[in-house]
Amino acid sequence: MDRRPILRIALVLSAALFAGPMLAGPLRAQPRWPDERQAGPFLCHADFGLDEQQPLLAELADLQQDLTKVLGAAQPRESVHLFLFQAKPTYQAYIQQYFPKVPYRRALFIKARGPGMVFAYRGDDFQIDVRHESTHALLHAWLKSVPLWLDEGLAEYFEVPHDQRAGRHPHLAATRALIRSGELPRLEALEELDAISDMGRDEYRDAWAWVHFALHGPPEATDELTRHLADLAAGTDPGPFSTRLRRRLPDLNRRVVEHFR
């Protein structure tokens, strides 16, 4: 599968990036979309009929439950608006109209002061894009801040269908190959990154790998990730995840190798 993670983006925007009306723009511009449905915390607005997408919408409704079950996520404080487009040109024109300063991406999560918004069109990786960006949206509706590596690692983890998360994500083979070559996924280096433009294919793989290790590796790692997220939700600075993880698992490198071998 040709996955182009670099083309996806989570934007937490400052007001300066908006050209004109703030969030009210997209939300008011077209009060009646051809199809509008609620799916869990998502309010979906589409310029095409959503009957065919009902399984995807059901997955999105489940996504919040999964985040609650797996990560301890609280119910989101607000709805997320999901804007779906049939065709790329319509999507492009829409983003250009309301967010002219946002660099073009195949799918977007945008949040400023109001509710989060996800935008996607029915391209090749439509379902992956929607799950990926919707994960960002739920994380940002829950946590007061989200470190970039963790934001992307979790979005990568949850972007595939439920039954593929543990053992069939494309990053799994890439991570195993990395370990076989004698390297480890980087964590401390990832924690230093704060610009989405710094995230390339290897960075997405490594971010995913640490999330996978935390969720499917030793219970101590799962516990530390859950505590780390709870701190982020409470707004207390948890410090780097690597610090608490290495403190809890002093033989961390060996455990990671074992996990992916």
Pick 10 or 63: Cβ nearer Zn ion: 10
Dist. CA 221–CA 204, nearest whole Å: 20
Least distance to Zn ion from the beta carbon of 105, Å? Answer: 9
CA distance 16 to 170: 37
- Of the listed pieces 75-83, 152-160, 217-225, 246-254, which binds Zn ion according to CB under 5 A? 152-160
Q: Is 108 in the site for Zn ion (CB under 5 A)?
A: no
Q: CB of residue 130 vs Zn ion: minimum separation in angstroms? A: 12
Stretch that binds Zn ion, among 8-16, 173-181, 197-205, 252-260 (CB under 5 A): 8-16
Query: Residue 125 or 152: which CB sits closer to Zn ion?
Result: 152
Task: Select 53 or 134, whichever has its Cβ closest to Zn ion.
Answer: 134
**Is residue 186 close enough to count as binding Zn ion by CB under 5 A?**
no
Choose which of 67, 118, 137, 155 interacts with Zn ion (CB under 5 A): 155
Q: 155 or 172, CB closer to Zn ion?
A: 155
Q: Which is nearer to Zn ion, 85 or 158 (CB)?
A: 158
Among 8, 81, 106, 111, binds Zn ion (CB under 5 A): 8
Interface with Zn ion (CB under 5 A): 8, 10, 152, 155
